[in-house]
Amino acid sequence: MESENTVAKLEKTRSLADFLQQKRKIFIGSLSAVIGAIAVFFIAAGVLDADTKKKLAALEGLIEHYDKLADSIGNEAADAGTNAEIETLRGDLQTFAESARGYPGAKAWSLVGTIYAKEKKWADAENAFEQSAIKGAKTHLSGPSLFNAGVAAEEGGNVAKAIDYFSRSIGTPASLIGARAQFSIGRLQEAQGDREAARLAYRKVVEDYPDSSGETWRNLAQSRLIVLDGN
């Protein structure tokens, strides 16, 4: 019975891991709300300088416009008028991103990347997320942006580059992305047949993220170690 339970648990974990592999694109931009909340806190606390506050205020209108169009981006049912509006928004966001520094510029580039990702234009999405990471190098957007660039690179078929992005995201201020990124490294290395490198990556998830923030990814990593060590 114990053996059957173990097999059942492993099969359940494999299914979850497969789901994460197939649906990894939905994680693009998923931390925006968290990062946005951090920015709001800083504004309220008076931590941001006047220019950054001004840029954030200007960015709010672009974010509202994005939210209005979000469900239509990449949707084949969208009409020509809506697609034209999306294209205009992307241009406005990119113009803003190129002129703004720090968090506002990084956030705008992140939205540009998200639009491209929804449209499955992976090379453009990767570039936009990388620009977001550069602009936001000293902010909590750097980690998620590098991670998202890795997702775009993987979707575009460049696994080596994806691993590089995931690795770089781990050393950024947004430690909440670390466990997920480290697991992704192991997943890609395992998919490439490099079992030893995958083991090392999964062990780092288990060892480096013992707190509750990494629990899901730690459990997944432990299950993959069981499978790899058993074969």
Q: What is the CATH number of the domain that holds 136?
A: 1.25.40.10
* Count of structural domains, the chain: 1
Band of pLDDT at residue 14, cut at 50, 70 and 90: low
Query: Is 39 inside a domain boundary?
Result: yes
Q: What pLDDT, on a 0 to 100 scale, did the predictor assign at position 45?
A: 45
Q: How far is CA 54 from the centre of its chain?
A: 27
Query: Is 27 inside a domain boundary?
Result: yes
Instruction: Calculate what percentage of the chain has a pLDDT beyond 70.
Output: 76
- Taken as a whole, the chain contains a residue count of 231
What mean pLDDT is predicted for residues 30-47? Answer: 48
Q: What pLDDT, on a 0 to 100 scale, did the predictor assign at position 54?
A: 80
pLDDT digits over 73-132, tens only?
999 999 999 999 999 999 999 999 999 988 899 999 999 999 999 999 999 999 999 999
Query: Is 181 inside a domain boundary?
Result: no
What does pTM read for this prediction?
Answer: 0.82
Query: Is 215 inside a domain boundary?
Result: no
Q: What pLDDT, on a 0 to 100 scale, did the predictor assign at position 230?
A: 81
Query: Is 221 inside a domain boundary?
Result: no
Domain, as residue range, for 157? 12-173
Does position 133 have pLDDT exceeding 60, yes or no? yes
What mean pLDDT is predicted for residues 151-179? Answer: 89
Q: What pLDDT, on a 0 to 100 scale, did the predictor assign at position 34?
A: 43
Query: Is 184 inside a domain boundary?
Result: no
Count of C-beta atoms within a 10 Å radius of residue 63: 16
